[in-house]
Amino acid sequence: MTKGRILASVAAALLIGGGVAAFAIAWRPAIAAIEPPSPQSFDAAMVKRGRDLAAIGNCSTCHTVRGGKDFAGGLPVPTPFGTVFSSNITPDAETGIGRWPESAFRRAMRSGVDRDGEHLYPTFPYDHFTNVSDEDDHALYAYLMTRQPVHAPARANQLAFPLDQRFVVAGWKLLFLRHGAYQPDPTRSAEWNRGAYLVEGLAHCGACHTPRNALGAERASAAFAGGDVDNWTAYAINAQSPAPVPWDADALFAYLRDGWQPDHGVARGPMAEVVANLSQTPDSDIRAIATYMAGVFGAPAPDRKRRGEEVLARIKSPPAPAAQADAAGAAIYAAACATCHETKRRLPYGGVNLALSTAFSSPDPRNAANIVLSGVRPVEGERSPIMPGFAASMNDAQVATLLNYLRSRFSNQPAWSGVDKTVADARRAQTVFLQTSAGPQDAPADASQRDKP
């Protein structure tokens, strides 16, 4: 045998070996289809438990598209790799999960594989859902299988080769998917452990609030250091939080319970959908999430605490007059913003004092641009926060002028750069977001606020 032939056979053996190994890694068996179970075959208490869990999991936000039926999928989810469309998780036999036995549902949650054995893209956050317990998966299955079946075929994803090949996801999982149920920390309280189980698992907070690496996986070393979703910045919710007033467990509880908090403002953008869904969640679970997250934020350093107190003191005194250079921004603010944001009308129906708003102290101006352009849509048929959008009355340069003014007046941070581009991008992206997202369907539930103006 010549040297060349030896090399060729070695290469062939490696290729075949590699192929077999890759096949073993990527291949998952199909799980046999079942006849769709009748809704009556599920225990009502279990269905209700599943409903509460699905609200914490924020399932409907991605699996419902504006104008579409609940859980019927079709929402375009933009990613750096292309657009992935959410799937139909109603119990429709042909286009939903009607023929999935519970074992197939559990496998999807645990390891991101559908009933046919195909790998699911990690836009479905199974890197978090892998922590969900068998009992909770059982309840979620009961809830989803008792929804109204909707015939809605999945839309084709817009991904370039080779990412359009689902076996590629097996490699991603090998690198980034850590299987396993949540292991409680015996040195912590039951409440903290409950919060950790929810935050790291079903609630998948890190999916937006943790930055991702080049392959789209959350960077474990930067947990909760801030990320992106739908052209919104998801703020850092650890020690790097840019909030003017530091968060604590009570403030987090109030914000997640009511959808707003006097020292921080109102949830909007994708977070408005999260708090709307949490309106169905019992106080105990919200308290657990707040307790765990307060630990992630950590107690503020003394100077950070002092700065927060200064901001709270400052908003009680009248503001300093604007510098001449800011006259245009100040005039827009006076006529378009101050009528709500400086009336001292209580949240959530009055606007937050912008010195308290994380949008203006954040290093990234996107949320401020989004909110000026699109405002806050009220929840249909509910008392809820509202802000008009200014996309029709201000051009990009005027929005940029306003944002630069607000940044210099209401934060002690350096000026933003590239605000013009941010505004132009925000105008484009928000149009898409507002057309496709179903938006919050319930106002956060603080019954005591319902009758107040």
**What are the residues binding other proteins (CB under 8 A)?**
67, 327-328, 330-332, 334-336, 339-340, 380, 386-388, 390, 392-394, 398
Q: Report how far residue 205's alpha carbon sits from residue 131's, in angstroms, rounded to the nearest whole number.
A: 13
Q: Report how far residue 186's alpha carbon sits from residue 451's, in angstroms, rounded to the nearest whole number.
A: 43
We find the least distance from the C-beta atom of residue 333 to other proteins, in angstroms, to be: 8
Q: Is 17 exposed, middle or buried (0-12, 13-18, 19+ CB in 10 A)?
A: exposed
DSSP string for residues in 311-356: HHHHTTSPPPPPPGGGHHHHHHIIIIIHHHHTS-PPTTTSPPPGGG
Residue with tokens 């007033």: 245
* Six token digits for residue 76: 């375009």
Residue type, 157: N
Q: Does residue 296 contact residue 224 with C-beta atoms inside 8 Å?
A: yes
DSSP helix/strand/coil, 229: strand
* Six token digits for residue 203: 């609630």
* Six token digits for residue 142: 């009961």
DSSP helix/strand/coil, 212: strand
Partners of 119 in beta bridges: 113
